[in-house]
Structure 1
Amino acid sequence: MVYPIKSCAGIDLTSSPYDHEGFKFDRKWMVVDVEKNKQLSARDNRGIKLVRVFPIIKRDPSSPDGGVLEVTFPDSPSTPSFSVPLDPSPETLSGWDKYSGFILWGHSCEGYIAESTSLSDDGSPSEILSSYIGRRVLLVMNTPAPRPLDPDIPFDPSPLAYTGGSTVRYPDASPFLLCSTASLSDAEANVRAMARGELKSPLKEGCDPAPDASAPDAAWATSKRLLIERFRPNIIVSGVDEPYGEDDWQEIITGDNKSFLLPARCPRCMFPNVDTESGTRDPQMPNNAMMQYRKVDSLAPTKYCFGMYTVPVEASGVVSVGDPVFVRRSAVNPKLTDRG
């Protein structure tokens, strides 16, 4: 999966090329809150409507810009869709302004202010998004300027087949996030168990953030699904024998004989509590259930973990649906003994 605009809806792909910074077009664009001078995230109330913004990749090899990214608003018929160049040529970029100095996870970043592929009375992409969200924002596209991996990730770059180490641009922490369908099924089962009163609510002490202690939405006990999109993975692996078996993977090889390193678990914020189908935030789930049994990592003892940060060893390759995944190296990933 890729998420062309950070915090917006994702796109299922049958195949995608990647480089050392992740899948092509993944988090290539981002919405910046001008007042705060930082990324606008759906994890926050002011940006929650972003999850219902749907980008569509439309490739056109005959175009100097490679096609367009069409952006639609299915929940807001009054909001016009717009298109921006998919892979802008140098000539196209020469007419775009650059916006610098906005903050992403403590780093000063820059981007090109994305312009529409055609003039419109509806306004620029940034103006349309500002009207939809209700605050002034800019739609920016990344520049070649990289960011280092999250410094909290214990990572040895020596196996990499490229110089300069692993970097990212607009992703939070690493080029890819990997998780398994077995882990998702287990998470959903535990959410249901808590909604039915079969799994006690976690203590507030030592939790970041503190769980909501009110009764959970009854729909979780029966029909409500925990969709994988809530966790924003790029690579989803089926056939793993045990839930969270990927915790112990250190290196995998995919179908085209390319290697990936898995240096650390991914500690989670409140983003997974946002229902990607409705654009609303659940005050409890899955956070409350996951905090009960997935506070497992000493690097983030107050957060629950789901998924693995993943870094490519080779500088480029292709990942396709159905590719076999081989675990080349694994070791028991220590877990916290005090789950609190």
Structure 2
Amino acid sequence: MASPCRPHVSFPLVSTSVLLLIPLSTRASTDVIPDRQWMWVTYPDYKFLTIRNDARMTLIRPSYNTKTDTLTITAPAPNSMDEKLEFQIPAHPSKEWLGENTEIVPATVWSTTTPAHCYSPTVTGSFNDFFGKEVRLVYKPPMSDSPRALVGNGSKKQIGRDASTCFADLFPVLVGSEKSIAELNERLEKAEGLNIDVRRFRPNILVRGTEAWDEDRWKSISLSAKPASNSPFPWWKFGMGKRGLDLDVVARCARCHVPNVDPESAEEHKRQPWDTLMKYRRVDPGIKFKPCFGMLCVPRGNGGQIELGMKLEVKATGEHRYIIGM
């Protein structure tokens, strides 16, 4: 089975707004925006902050300037309709820059602690006003000397190799299906006249052409071949590693209430899509009391580069059982 790869995206900062990317690389590169390598944390204990804590975090917007290779981070200023908070940082900071502008701190994601570069509040301090408390921004390089090892379904015991991620909840890549979000929206329309954007589920890669929920059985997939003819980005301009990407599909993505948050307004629906998903998407025997949407993946080898319109091929299928472990 083969399907075209649809727009794929990066979330440079955990739990903030999306940054549309064409193309995307899973390796360190000076031409590609990293995914979830920055994270807001509490201070002074450096515990991660997410939409689960504060739905307004989705109003934090990253943008990328290709000429200066910088990320600009903005958010609404408190008590103002027009003003905004803003700062800029290098999108690919050098070791020298990090040495001069950050310090190493123990950042906590779930129950694990990992070394991270913490930015000076002189750079990000205005965002204390947005959060209403003192916070810090931390960064983890993609080729870190202290990688955050995958656990559960992504552990070496399960996939036969060492693999890591930066600040993603669990795994480096999330794949979603257009047919699956369309099928869910049909149910939501009937239930509440509601139609939601797939961005609520925060996939990196969106696939067109498969049957709804066919992804539940994928075990190995490959992205390859020529990108769409209307893609304005020639593949050779971006990144490192081979063109294309092989992925182990290690687990279904068990969901919390984050998809109830509208990424544009930060308003949280009291019921949907959680209630509808709970009725028919509790499909994984390893985590029976959470609904599933999307598949969690781990790149093989040295990773690679993907672009809009690439062909997705399912190499292997089989059963999945979620292994709880953070």
- TM-score relative to the length of structure 2: 0.81
Q: Partner of 1:186: helix, strand, or coil?
A: helix
Q: Partner of 1:111: helix, strand, or coil?
A: strand
Q: How far has the Cα of 1:133 moved from its partner?
A: 1.6
Are residue 94 (structure 1) and residue 81 (structure 2) matched?
Answer: no
For 2:38 and 2:191, locate their aligned partners in 1 and report how far apart those are by CA, in whole Å.
37
What is residue 152 of structure 2 aligned with on the other side? 151
Are residue 16 (structure 1) and residue 14 (structure 2) matched?
Answer: no
Q: Structure 1 residues 334 and 50 mapped into 2: Cα distance closer, same or farther (>3 Å)?
A: closer
Aligned match for 1:58, one of 50, 62, 65: 65
Q: How far has the Cα of 1:316 moved from its partner?
A: 2.5
Question: What pairs with 1:293-312 in structure 2 (closer than 5 Å)?
Answer: 293-312=280-299
Are residue 186 (structure 1) and residue 183 (structure 2) matched?
Answer: yes
Q: How far has the Cα of 1:28 moved from its partner?
A: 1.2
Instruction: Specify the code of the residue in structure 1 equivalent to 2:133.
Output: R
For 1:294 and 1:99, locate their aligned partners in 2 and report how far apart those are by CA, in whole Å.
41
What is residue 5 of structure 1 aligned with on the other side? 13
Choose 164-173 or 143-152, whichever is displaced more: 143-152
Question: How many residue pairs end up in the alignment?
Answer: 287
Which of these two proteins has the greater Rg computed from alpha carbons?
A: 1
For 2:26 and 2:276, locate their aligned partners in 1 and report how far apart those are by CA, in whole Å.
34
For 2:33 and 2:297, locate their aligned partners in 1 and report how far apart those are by CA, in whole Å.
15
What is residue 201 of structure 1 aligned with on the other side? none
Deviations 1:10-54 (A, max 9, x none): 11112122129xx8510111000126631111122xx22110111
Q: How far has the Cα of 1:153 moved from its partner?
A: 5.0
Aligned match for 2:119, one of 114, 129, 143: 114
Aligned match for 1:175, one of 172, 175, 179: 172
Higher relative contact order (CA 8 A, sep 6+): 2
For 1:157 and 1:103, locate their aligned partners in 2 and report how far apart those are by CA, in whole Å.
24
Q: How far has the Cα of 1:77 moved from its partner?
A: 3.1
Question: What pairs with 1:1-340 in structure 2 (closer than 5 Å)?
Answer: 1-19=9-27, 24-34=33-43, 37-44=46-53, 47-60=54-67, 67-73=69-75, 77-114=82-119, 124-143=122-141, 144=144, 145-153=146-154, 156-158=158-160, 165-195=162-192, 221=193, 224-240=194-210, 242-255=211-224, 256-331=243-318, 333=320
Q: Partner of 1:38: helix, strand, or coil?
A: coil
For 1:254 and 1:152, locate their aligned partners in 2 and report how far apart those are by CA, in whole Å.
22
Q: How far has the Cα of 1:140 moved from its partner?
A: 1.1
Contact 2:70–2:91 (Cα < 8 Å) also in 1: yes
In structure 2, list runs of 5 or more residues that go unmatched.
Answer: 1-8, 225-242
Contact 2:33–2:91 (Cα < 8 Å) also in 1: no
Instruction: Specify the code of the residue in structure 2 equivalent to 1:27.
Output: R
For 1:291 and 1:332, locate their aligned partners in 2 and report how far apart those are by CA, in whole Å.
20
For 2:249 and 2:33, locate their aligned partners in 1 and report how far apart those are by CA, in whole Å.
20
Instruction: Specify the code of the residue in structure 2 equivalent to 1:140.
Output: V
Task: List structure 1 runs of 4+ shifted beyond 4 angstroms.
Answer: 152-155, 332-335
Instruction: Specify the code of the residue in structure 2 equivalent to 1:139.
Output: L
Contact 2:154–2:163 (Cα < 8 Å) also in 1: no
Instruction: Specify the code of the residue in structure 2 equivalent to 1:109.
Output: T
Q: How far has the Cα of 1:169 moved from its partner?
A: 1.5
Q: How far has the Cα of 1:269 moved from its partner?
A: 0.8
Instruction: Specify the code of the residue in structure 1 equivalent to 2:150.
Output: L
